[in-house]
Structure 1
Amino acid sequence: MLNFLKQGLKKTIESISQIKADNKKITKDLLEEMLLEADVAYEIVEEIIYYLPPSDEVKKADLKRVMGTYFLYDKVQFSSAKPFVELILGVNGAGKTTSIAKLANLYKSQGQKVILGACDTFRAGAIEQLRLWAEKIGVEIVISAQGHDPSAVAFDTISKALAKNYDKVIIDTAGRLQNQKNLAAELEKIVRISNKAMQGAPHLKILVLDGTQGNAGILQAKAFNELVKLDGVIITKLDGTAKGGALFSIARELELPILYIGTGEKMQDLHEFNAQDYLDTLLEPIFS
């Protein structure tokens, strides 16, 4: 995963390297500048520096220990439910539909039987876009007409998965901006009806966040978390930004695990997040 992360965090690594230049000694002032450039939030940078040993020179082991405390939130405990139902949320443009396709492709490559539910019946073209991905990957999909009740689509998808012995159900949702009042009611209804179709569903509620937004995406994430209690996050488009340090703020402010990160447009460009690999990749340009 390290090579994948190096490519995905390439712009972040470059921005850190430019500041470091020929400085062999990493002082706290230099560290502060590098972390801020990587879009680690100012208050988190100050916390990191505060908890480092009093010496002005920063040692790699000390920094990794302190930074690692931001990723201590428990990983999701996947239940043995079959089918296992995942509800995917996020605003338009965050990479939600592509992430659903990548997840479906990942699960299929693991030998699991996958079905998609096209519950974004609000946005023109959303159903067709997901249908094309399903066709390309070779997985089943349940669709309806635009404007149809999305909770009914969720019910039909889960019911079909139960009847046909599917392993995974991935449900898309509308990506309207979170300040629209009817979105809350719609999401709550999808969750409620999913539970009617199968007790305990959805088993996982995942928010897709655009990595290029950096810390600006946190307010968006908090709003979704208030609407529907989230279980984890997918960060997309990390290859297109130098804001790779924003993952610290996302993990701390939401107190949620980062499940996957996406760093490209290929179907294989979605990987399970590993905090230690992420820290090693971020620290390499600082101490190399």
Structure 2
Amino acid sequence: MARGILWIVLTVCALLVAGCSSVMRPPSAAAFMDSYEQDKPVVNMNGALYGGDLDNDNARSEEWVFDATGSVFWNKSFFSLGFGTQTVTPFTQLGIVSPYFGVTAWSSIYSPFNIANYMSDNFWKDVSLGAMVVEQIPVGNKVKIGVTEHFSRNGIEKYLSDAKEGFMAFSFPEPHPAFYREVGGGAFVSYKRESSTLAFEFRYGRDIDNRCNRFAVMIDFWGVATKEFIYDKEKEREKRIKLQRETKAAEERQKERDLESLEEYEKRQRDEEE
């Protein structure tokens, strides 16, 4: 319970600090699907590399080509809720998840410090959001393969210099978010290790506003460090040390028996010579 509260506090603090942008792209599907029936928070870290027609008229040399994302998921039965930051954009993600099928939606979150955003007439004009359908097939106990279909409103940052008036008034580039609608799909494969999981995701998206193609390659790494796992590893270590000690003691006893046998043999040899 205490660790759960700690995760919530840390997540809220991260959202407060990171809320300096409202642009994002679709988050990880593999990590969301793996949150099913996890009794502890699933902590995910991933990096994404983007390609395609990024130099369109609205985003020439302006669009990020790399994102680093950190997120935490909590699961209850078939429902999962997550919070995270994609580069400097805080977001929330929720949905229905099962071993074979999932539906998730996400949205960027304004920082509580950006009070002006809440007072604007058009609240949704500066929000990235979307929805995704995921189908997944387990292959054995360690490997999972899945496909995705998504529709999203993605964002990019355009840095413009606003004209300022007055003496010693300098103009600096400031972020002005621009958004576009995207429809697409992708695939992923994940491999489960003892206490962590590694996944590779590929995603294609069609920018229907600017009529261009976009691609994303994502590498995910997440894990669940439970007390039970730590206890089992410690017990395994103790058992291994005990076995090594017993093996060494058995070797010492065998040496002693061999030495005693050699001494008895030499004594019999001397008695026969006399």
With normalisation by structure 1, the TM-score equals: 0.24
Bigger strand fraction: 2
Higher relative contact order (CA 8 A, sep 6+): 1
Bigger helix fraction: 1
With normalisation by structure 2, the TM-score equals: 0.25
